[in-house]
Amino acid sequence: MAGDRFVGPAPLSVLVDALKRLPGVGAKSAQRMAYHLLQHDPHGARMLGQALGDAVDRLRHCARCNTFTESEICETCASPRRDASLLCVVETPADQNMIEASHSYNGLYFVLMGRLSPLEGVGPNEIGFDRLLARATDGQVREVILATNFTTEGETTAHYLAELLRAQGLGVTRLARGVPAGSELEYVDAGTIAWALMDRRAP
């Protein structure tokens, strides 16, 4: 649409273009965001500007688990209370947060910061599986728990990693598939029901 091309003073069009770099933000939302910040939240705009610079300047990848951290080694990896024989592989720090929130895991993590996606040209080299391999074969890790998403790409990643890690003699497991806690079967999709039947267990 013609109206998608932004016309306006330079600092505004530069801001709109910069906002369009955010994932999921198109021309229209970028304009809406810019107007909102300038009209209703200039303080928020300044805070966000500062936060972006600070984050890029101060964060790097943990040398052990690859998550974002301010130090060489993140707090989790540095903790003596963690079980170093368990390594849980997740796609993103958000997934790690979800697992931590379950209060049911006390091992360590490796954060892929992505997943295999042949269609988007993301192969094993782009994800840095060599770093995971080095981490998993440190002599302490006994079991690697694959907790990538249950999407096509997450499953592909899990299958690939399972072969890679089993070839090193490591125990490899995957999060259980099944009916979510609190679900009514009527509202659970058929694929999940099929999984739950296949993996049925003694009550």
Candidate residues 92, 117, 149, 192; the one interacting with a copy of itself per rule CB under 8 A: 92
- Residue 37 CA, distance from chain mean position: 28
The distance of closest approach from Cβ of residue 117 to a copy of itself in the complex, given in angstroms and rounded to an integer, is: 13
Which residue in this structure is represented by tokens 């009514």? Answer: 184
Site for a copy of itself in 104-163 (CB under 8 A): 113-114
Nearer to a copy of itself, 91 or 165 (CB): 91
Provide the b/e sequence for 124-154 (b: ≥16 CB within 10 Å): eeebebebbbebbeeeebebbbbbbbeeebb
Q: Which two tokens stand for residue 4?
A: 């998608």
Residues 49-78 as x/- pattern, contact with a copy of itself by CB under 8 A: xxxxxxxxxxx-------xxxx---x----
Stretch in the footprint of Zn ion (CB under 5 A) among 29-37, 42-50, 61-69, 195-203:
61-69
Taking the C-alpha atoms of residue 113 and residue 83, their distance in angstroms, rounded to an integer, is 22
Among the listed residues 67, 60, 129, 97, the one whose alpha carbon sits nearest the alpha carbon of residue 77: 67
Q: Which does 7 bind (CB under 5 to 8 A by kind): Zn ion, a copy of itself, none?
A: a copy of itself
Beta-carbon neighbour count of residue 171 at 10 Å?
Answer: 13
Binding site for a copy of itself (CB under 8 A): 2-3, 5-12, 14-15, 17-19, 21-24, 28-29, 31-39, 41-42, 44-59, 67-70, 74, 92-94, 97-98, 100-102, 113-114
